[in-house]
């Protein structure tokens, strides 16, 4: 009676699944998601390669890994160029009551060491909890390396445009935040407008709609 052959390698199956998804996303021009899948799939294939003894299989795996790495690198270069040209668009859908979306996870990739100005339009900073949310956003800016400078010319400028003319509680809370930010090299300017209706964040010319 013949002995049953070895079952499918779980690592290899996982790699194939992830890389298949990467190719599908690539074909749909969903490059940020495709890049993540390519990177994950490549890591899985490298683990499979480490455990492979057959030389022919090793050679085939190396070829596949090389091809996927080339494609991933091309996508990365394309996305980097899009960001540099200000054409990069990324959409994140957050379902109601969803958790795990911190300000860092949403904005960190856009806030590099070259950023010197941030413009915020928000008609919804009126109540205490909304002021706290804005404060947490500002705390994220303070944590970033580019907000810690030695001279006033290198401060980070934040322009916040709000709806209406400002209420006493709103103005008082924002003035406190403004004074606190100044101590950390962030200069907050406040402006009121009757023509804004949506949230928008822009940094040095690039927009992040919220």
Sign of CA dihedral 156, 194, 210, 205: negative
Q: Are 165 and 192 in contact (CB under 8 A)?
A: yes
Provide the pLDDT for residue 6. Answer: 47
Q: Are residues 16 and 70 located together in one domain of the fold?
A: yes
Provide the pLDDT for residue 150. Answer: 39
Q: What strand order describes the sheet that includes 200-203?
A: 186-193, 156-163, 117-122, 200-203, 206-209
Provide the pLDDT for residue 59. Answer: 93
Q: Which domain holds residue 52?
A: 10-85
* pLDDT tens digits in sequence order for the chain, 210 residues long: 444 444 456 668 889 999 999 999 999 988 888 898 999 999 999 999 998 888 999 999 999 999 999 999 999 999 888 877 766 666 677 777 777 778 887 887 777 667 788 889 888 888 888 898 898 898 888 876 544 443 444 578 899 988 877 778 888 899 999 999 988 888 899 988 888 777 888 877 555 555
Residue 98 domain-assigned (yes or no): no
The total number of structural domains in the chain stands at 2
For the domain that residue 72 is a member of, what is the CATH number? Answer: 1.20.58.80
Residue 152 domain-assigned (yes or no): yes
C-alpha 192/C-alpha 187 separation (Å) is 17
C-alpha 209/C-alpha 27 separation (Å) is 26
Residue 74 domain-assigned (yes or no): yes
pTM above 0.75, yes or no: no
Residue 39 domain-assigned (yes or no): yes
Residue 61 domain-assigned (yes or no): yes
Q: Are residues 200 and 120 located together in one domain of the fold?
A: yes
């Amino acid at each position: 009676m013949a002995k049953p052959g070895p079952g499918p390698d779980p690592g290899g199956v996982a790699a194939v699944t992830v890389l298949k998804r990467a190719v599908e996303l690539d074909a749909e021009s969903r490059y940020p998601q495709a890049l993540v899948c390519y990177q994950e799939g490549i890591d899985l294939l490298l683990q499979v390669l480490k455990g492979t003894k057959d030389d022919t299989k090793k050679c085939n795996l190396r070829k596949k890994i090389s091809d996927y790495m080339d494609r991933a690198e091309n996508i990365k270069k394309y996305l980097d160029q899009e960001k540099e040209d200000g054409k990069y668009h990324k959409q994140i859908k957050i379902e109601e009551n969803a958790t795990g979306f911190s300000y860092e996870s949403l904005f960190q990739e856009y806030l590099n060491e070259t950023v010197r100005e941030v413009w915020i339009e928000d008609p919804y900073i009126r109540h205490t909890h909304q002021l706290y949310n804005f404060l947490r956003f500002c705390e994220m800016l303070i944590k970033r390396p580019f907000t810690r400078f030695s001279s006033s010319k290198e401060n980070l400028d934040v322009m916040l445009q709000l709806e209406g003319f400002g209420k006493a509680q709103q103005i008082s809370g924002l003035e406190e935040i403004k004074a606190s930010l100044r101590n950390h090299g962030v200069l907050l300017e406040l402006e009121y407008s009757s023509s804004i209706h949506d949230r928008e964040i822009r940094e040095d010319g690039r927009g992040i709609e919220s």
